[in-house]
Chains A and B, each alone.
Chain A
Amino acid sequence: MKGASATPLLELRAITKIYGHGDAEVRALRGVDLSIFSGEFVAIMGPSGSGKSTAMNVLGCLDTPTDGQFLFNGVEVGTLNQDQRALLRRHYLGFVFQGYNLLARTTALENVELPLIYKGLSRDERFVLASQALAKVGLAERAHHDPSELSGGQQQRVAIARALASKPQVILADEPTGNLDSKRSREIMELLTELNRDEGLTIVMVTHEDDMAAYADRVIWFVDGAVEYDGSHAGLKQAKRGI
């Protein structure tokens, strides 16, 4: 683990998340403890309903835990209100989704500029940063194309550029290769690995594909709302054999 001695960038302490009430109650997370350090590339895995998406939503400040503490850079953020969480997302987090989630009828460049608008940057500043981000994912020439004119792999790269543009500390990727064939998937994973290695960007990725998880430094395996395994990808196979 890199930087183990420092304060974790993301830290979950005894996090529980309960949906619904009474008989309809679902315990999505049951006391999760987790530390992710700056510069790590972490894959979160587990069967459906294991709580990995819920954990991702809590880490991405899209959802609040029912109980427990969530510390961002040592600061308690689990109790922030909606607007404060929006600010945290705006300045420190970047998202990549399975379905790309680009705005239709909007050029790649404008899509990448979107988070910068909310940061209050001027038109010129937005153009420079967005162009740089598109160049970084190798799509500088496609800046003025609409999503409908781009392939799935290109769309996902635009989405990554959008996450990069606001210079976040963490990129949260939810099944980023879920809609792509294996060749495009490998390209996306290589891009993420590169960003992690060269830029020191912290990446947290949810995936159910073992091949994709292999790119990560560390794999966290969720079962029934709790962390079942936390270690290297190689160790996961042995551990699973043991289970």
Chain B
Amino acid sequence: MLGQTIQLAFAAIFRNTMRSFLTVLGIVIGVAAVIAMVTVGQGSSAQVTADVEKLGTNVLMVMPGANDRGPGSDVTAQPFTLGDAETIAEELSFVAAAAPTASRSLTVVYGNTNHRTTVTGTDNSYLTGAEWPVVMGREFSTAEISGGKTVCVIGETIRQTFFGNTSPLGETLRLKNVTCEVIGVLEVKGASSFGTDQDDLILMPIKAFHRRVAGNSDVSMIYVAVKDGTIIDKAMRDIEVLMRDVRRISDGEVDDFSVMSMEQIAGILTGITNVLTGLLSAVAAVSLLVGGIGIMNIMLVSVTERTREIGIRLAVGAQASQVLMQFLVEAVVLSLLGGIIGIVLGLILAAVASNLMSIGFAPDPLVILMAFVFSAVVGVIFGYFPARSAARLDPIQALRHE
């Protein structure tokens, strides 16, 4: 009997194709929006993780400020010094390199061209730790590092912006009041997961940065690269213990610095992506609700419009429960059709968007299943009320209805 009821429902739906289509439009848009949001969101989460892994899972970051406030939020925390980075490199056997860094955003001038970029003071261990080779020219020499000479290693974006097809080596950039000779160009890294250009940077020896750019000797972050096979958690604890000692933090006091692994950073970034995805999906879900109300509205109109049909069905021997089932199944079939169209549409949208944002296209079968089930539930909930009013009709009144 259910099979026949479903047949009847399909017959009724295709008897008025245009109206059926308009009825399910709300569901189609709602489901498509949710599917597209979630799929794109998950794609970018996966991309963040992949990007961070590309940076090297063996890299830890040590920065001033407590962990629970997020990186750099505790401005009163005492900054690190060059000595701290040296201590880490010397005291801990698992450390491959410890690079002190300090950064500023500055406008760089070459000839007639201006460009705002990040200038970072550091040393060669930064390049080692990030596994980021110089592809043109050379790294800093020992003399340049210890003497604080104003020489620069530039990212690919800087090279393109200022030099185009000519060689940048030996040219002089002006940053603030400092002139700086270009000695090397870094390998292309591309955009990060959030679209920031990782090649848009200038490196200089940290002593030169301190003296000529910053005017102080603060180290805002120490990149620590650990040797292969090191247990990250233990390395993080060891660095913490060492730094507490160096910074003279007594037992019972909380750290005024934090040690983070790339995994944790990936976690934070993924968390942000997930919150955004969740918010957008919630907005999309509201449109699903509106779609459901649309179905109820049309089904109610349909009951009034089809009063005579219901009367005929009752007269030829349909029971109230059968009329109820017919209208309910019709609503469910309608919203399921809408759901299926919405899923397909949403996946297409997500595929196009993923392609444009150059992130992975990662459809989630669970989300698709949920969208399917949800549209069935919408059909049952919003179809029940109209179906019940159809089933309650008096056959005599229904037959007289004009």
Contacts and interface: CB of A to CB of B under 8 A. Distances in A.
B317 A119 contact: yes
Contacts, number: 61
A117 B15 contact: no
Given A57-B396, A62-B395, A97-B399, A103 B316 contact: no
A120 B317 contact: no
Contact of B317 (A91, A101, A103, A105): A91
A97 B395 CA distance: 13
Interface stretch (B157-165, B259-267, B304-312, B371-379): B304-312
A86 B318 contact: yes
B9 to A, nearest CB: 12
B244 interface: no
A60 B315 CA distance: 9
A162 interface: yes
Nearest to B402: A99
Interface in B1-52: 1, 4, 8, 11, 15-16
Interface residues of A, number: 28
A105 B313 contact: no
Interface in A113-134: 114-115, 117-120
B296 interface: no
B320 interface: yes
A51 to B, nearest CB: 14
Given A105-B15, A106-B15, A86 B317 contact: yes
Contact of B309 (A63, A82, A103): A103
Nearest to A105: B15
B316 A63 contact: no
Interface in A91-108: 91, 93, 95, 97, 101-103, 105-106
B314 A86 contact: yes
Given A62-B396, A105-B15, A90 B320 contact: no
Contacts of B399: 97, 101
Interface size class of B (residues with CB under 8 A): 20 to 34
Given A86-B319, A90-B317, A117 B396 contact: no
Contacts of B395: 62
B321 interface: yes
Contacts of A82: 319-320
A57 B397 CA distance: 11
B8 A117 contact: yes
A86 B323 CA distance: 12
Contacts of B312: 101-103, 114
Given A62-B315, A114-B313, A83 B320 contact: yes
Contacts of A110: 11
Nearest to B308: A101
Chain A CB within 10 Å — which of B16, B319, B322 has the most? B319
Contact of B316 (A83, A118, A120): A118
Interface string B239-277: 000000000000000000000000000000000000000
A185 interface: no
B16 to A, nearest CB: 8
Given A114-B312, A118-B322, A89 B317 contact: yes
Contacts of B316: 89-90, 95, 114-115, 118, 162, 166
A86 B315 CA distance: 7
Interface in A150-169: 162, 166
Nearest to A115: B316
A57 B395 CA distance: 10
Given A62-B395, A97-B399, A101-B311, A118 B317 contact: yes
Contacts of A26: none
A90 B321 CA distance: 14
A95 B315 CA distance: 7
A180 to B, nearest CB: 19
A97 B321 CA distance: 24
Interface string A22-46: 0000000000000000000000000
Contacts of B318: 86, 90, 118
A162 B312 CA distance: 11
Contacts of A117: 4, 8
A87 interface: yes
Interface of B: 1, 4, 8, 11, 15-16, 308-309, 311-322, 395-396, 399
13 contacts: A62-B395, A63-B396, A83-B320, A83-B321, A90-B317, A93-B317, A95-B315, A101-B315, A103-B312, A105-B15, A105-B16, A114-B313, A118-B318
Given A101-B312, A114-B313, 10 more contacts: A62-B395, A83-B320, A87-B317, A90-B316, A95-B315, A101-B399, A103-B312, A105-B15, A118-B322, A120-B1
